[in-house]
Amino acid sequence: MIKFLFKKKKLSLISDSFKFFLKNKLGIVPKDEALYLEAITHSSFKNIQKSNLDNERLEYLGDAFISLSVAQYLFKLYPKKQEGYLTQLRSKIVSRENLNKIGSQIGLEEFIMYQKGSNQYKSIVGNTFEALYGAVFFDLGYEKAQKSIEEYILKPTLDLDQIIKENRDYKSELLIYHQKKDSKIKFKTLKDNEFKNGIQFISSVICNEKTIGIGKGNSKKIAEQEASKNALI
């Protein structure tokens, strides 16, 4: 009698659709599937599954990994930029708002396990994105995780031109520019008492007693930035 030995197929911990997502959106094939299941499990899901599994530890790890990866990417991309510029740009990229946006763009929200029917999880997509890369880093190592985030996330999804535009400090640029020309710059900022919808400030940039730019905003800082921007045009 001939016995046929069949090797039992290992049961997968994650769905085929999630595997497809990982392969096509992040370019990775998991080794330890349990890590990826943990990465997409929000703490609120404990009430449903009655276990202690959640993604908060992986979120902590992913936060550190993403910050380092973005720093490395910017360091290579902008070899002549100084520390302050790179730090501000990195902060913008790794902000919760931006990570939420990236997570939504790649369709991560579809796979997050959490207790539905609540609007309190405003940062759930960004937090899960961090946890997911915490899992990739722990499972596959820094080199593969870095390649994934650079090739599949940073290069195709980041609009660096827009981020840089939003990140510009027009007031500092203006002061540096006129300092080199030995010009005297001062700001005159007042509340607009005729503005009906809340508080508005009007700021004027004065160079050698001549107004060269005017800006408005709901804070003194915003008004001065807008005035500086207009003065640089």
With a CB cutoff of 8 Å and minimum separation 6, the contacts of 150 are 69, 73
231, 213 Cβ separation under 8 angstroms: yes
**Of 63, 139, 224, 226, which one is the catalytic site residue?**
63
Active-site residue 63, yes or no?
yes
Helical (H) or strand (E) element with 69: helix 56-77
Instruction: For residue 172, give the 3-state DSSP assignment.
Output: helix
Phi-psi region of 41 (alpha: psi -120 to 50; beta: other; left: phi over 0): beta
Which one is catalytic: 33, 54, 59, 130?
A: 130
Catalytic (active site) residue 182: no
Given a contact cutoff of 8 angstroms between Cβ atoms, the answer to whether 134 and 60 are in contact is yes
d(CA 145, CA 27) in angstroms, rounded, equals 9
Active site positions, annotated: 63, 130
